[in-house]
Every structure is written in C-alpha cells, then in structure tokens.
Amino acid sequence: MTSDQFANLTTAQINSLTSTQIAKIATEVVSVLNSDQVAALSTINVKGLTTLQLRQLTSDQLGNLETADVVQLSSAQLRTLTSDQISALTLDAVKVLSTAQLKGLTSSQINKLTSDQIGSLTSTQIMSFDRAQIGFLKTDQISVLSSSAISKLSNTQIGFLTSSQIRSLTSYQLGSLISSQVASLKNFQILALSTDQIASLSSSTIRSLTGAQIKILNSAQLRSITPEIVSGISTSQLINLSASSIGSLTADQLVALGTSGAARLSASQVKMLTRSQADAFSTDQINAMATAVKAFVNKLKA
C-alpha cells in the first residue's frame, strides 16, 4: 500500500488493522497518518508499532495519541522515541506514564522533558527515577517539582542532587524537606545553599541539620540565619560551632541565643569574639555563662 492509499483510509479502517498488518507498514508511510487516523489507532495497534515506526511519528502525531495508548507503550518503545518526540507528549500522556516506563527514559529524554511536563509528574512518578536520572534533571526542571514530590524523594535521591540543582531549589521546596532528608544532605550540598536559601529555612528545617552539618556552614551562611531561628538551635548544634563560626555571628544573633545558649558556650568557642560582639550580650546572658567564658567576655568589654 502506497503512502497516498494509506492516507485515504478511514478511521474505521485504521482501527480495524491487526498488529501484524500494522507492523508491516513501511516506516515512510507512518508519517503520513493524519491526526484523526493517529487518534483512531487502537491500543493493540500502538503496541504493535515497531521502534522504527515510532521514530517516524511527528510531534503532532504523538500529541494525538490517546493517553490509553501511551500508557500501553513498552519501556523499549518509549525509550526509542527521540528527545523531541518525548517533549511533544501531552501533559495528560505524561501523567499516566508508569514507573516502569519512566525508569526506562534515557538522560537525553529526561533533559528534553519540558517544565510543564516535569511539573505534571506525581510524587510517585518522581520517586521512580533512579539516582542517575535525578542527576540528569536540569535546574529549571528541578525548580518546578512540586513540594509534595520533593518531600517524597528518598535520601539516596537527595544525595545525588548536584550543587547546581541544590541552588535551584525554591524556598517552598526547601521547606518541604523532611528531617531525614535534611540530615542526609552532603557537605558539598550544604555549602551550595545560597544565603537567601539559608535565610528562608524554617526553624524545624534548621533544627534537622546535624551537628556536623552546622559545623561546615560558612560565615556568610551562618549570618544569614535569622535571629528568630538562631534562638531555636539545639545544644548539639551549638556546641559544634567552631570559634570562627561563633565569631561570625551578628550581635542580633548572639542576643537571640538567650541565657540558655550563652550558658552552653565554651571558652574555646568565644576566643574569636570581638569587643562589639561581647557588648551585645545582656547582663543575664553573661551571668549564665561558664566562669571561664564570663571572664573572657568581661575582659573584652572592659
């Protein structure tokens, strides 16, 4: 059957074709199917398309595949689609992709998913990506993931986010991280957080940081934590701050430590405080300090 003859088939005739007949259609003929003919393909027809035939479908033709047909594509069939074909899938089609289908996507296919397509994925679908696939997501794709999807990422998936991906997370996405996810962040990821991102973190998120994670925050990151949040840091977090870390805190942050925080400071931690920082402590804070710490602070104030 020539391309012209095939193009003249009615939708009913198209729908009646068997898988065997579909598989025998020349690849150059597949590209002449109009939108109505593509929509008329039965699920069995679509499942019968060979990889070569699938690659001949235009973006417009793929956009006319019904969701019921898309969900029946095997992982092998889906993986054979070009990057441009993948980006042509409708949002409704993307929403019905199974975890098995998503696991089969290649790095180039994942890269070509549009922001709208990525944003339409459910938490379950995002969870199906393996650690390598998570690493393939571009920063503009990461930034449109729903807060729900972010909160469902496994600690392993979180651990494979690159520095650039971490920096692309919005305040809402960072706020959706649960305690175990925050605690699983690696050193390079913590250091990748911008001061604006740090400043947007909630008290519960900050308190989820381990002592080791708090310890590696640089001076700019520490100063970006609001005084209100500083007042809620735990004992284990405070005692892990180095002398240089304590020395980088602003006057408002030192005041926010309160008497309980001041009482936890050690002599080794306060040795880099300046006169202006010492002056920021209230009388109650100084009185609550350990003897050696109190003596050092009073000496600075003298």
What's 12's DSSP letter?
H
25 inside domain: yes
Q: Does residue 278 sit within a domain?
A: yes
Query: What mean pLDDT is predicted for residues 169-196?
Result: 93
**Predicted TM-score of the model (pTM):** 0.81
| Closest to 72 (Cα-Cα) out of 105, 43, 39 | 43
Mean pLDDT taken over the chain: 91
235-252 tens-digit pLDDT: 889 999 999 999 999 999
Nearest to 249, CA basis, from 229, 210, 234, 175: 229
Q: Are 121 and 149 in contact (CB under 8 A)?
A: yes
pLDDT score recorded for residue 32? 82
Contact 62, 91 (CB under 8 A): no
pLDDT for residue 163: 96
Asked whether the predicted pLDDT for residue 87 surpasses 70, the reply is: yes
> Is residue 264 one of the residues assigned to a domain?
yes
- Report whether pLDDT(277) > 90: yes
Kindly state the average pLDDT of the residues 178-206.
93
Last residue of a domain, one of 90, 113, 140: 90
Q: Provide the 3-class DSSP secondary structure of residue 163.
A: helix
State the greatest distance between any 2 C-alpha atoms of the chain, in Å, as a whole number.
Answer: 99
**pLDDT over 90 (residue 113):** yes
Of all residues in the chain, what percent carry a pLDDT higher than 90?
Answer: 65
Which pLDDT belongs to residue 78? 92
Amino acid at 238: L
Q: What is the pLDDT of residue 128?
A: 92
Q: How many domains does the chain have?
A: 2
For 57-80, the DSSP string reads --HHHHHTS-HHHHTTS-HHHHHH
Mean pLDDT of 43-52: 86
**297 phi and psi angles, rounded to 5 deg:** -65, -45
- Domain boundary residue, one of 28, 63, 90: 90
Q: For the chain, how are helix, strand and coil distributed in percent, rounded to 5?
A: 70, 0, 30
Would you say residue 27 has pLDDT above 90? no
In a domain, 47, yes or no: yes
Write out the residue range of the structural domain in which residue 243 sits: 193-302
Residue 189: per-residue pLDDT: 97
Would you say residue 298 lies in a domain? yes
Name the band, by pLDDT with cuts 50, 70 and 90, for residue 9. confident
Tokens of 225: 């934590």
Asked if the model's pLDDT at residue 1 lies above 70, the reply is no
At residue 48, the pLDDT reads 85
In a domain, residue 164? The reply is no
> Residue 143: inside a domain, yes or no?
no
**pLDDT at residue 14, as a whole number:** 81
| Of the residues 30, 65, 90, the one at which a domain ends | 90
128 in any annotated domain: no
pLDDT of residue 49: 86
Per-residue pLDDT band at 21 (split at 50, 70, 90):
confident
**What's the token pair of residue 85?**
């074909």
Residue 103 CA to residue 112 CA, distance in Å, equals: 15
Separation of alpha carbons 299 and 288, rounded Å: 16
Question: H-type helices in 143-290, by residue range?
Answer: 147-152, 155-159, 163-168, 171-176, 179-183, 187-192, 195-200, 203-208, 211-216, 219-224, 227-230, 235-239, 243-247, 251-256, 258-264, 275-280, 283-288
Nearest to 136 by CA among 115, 159, 109: 109
Residue bearing tokens 């390598």? 132
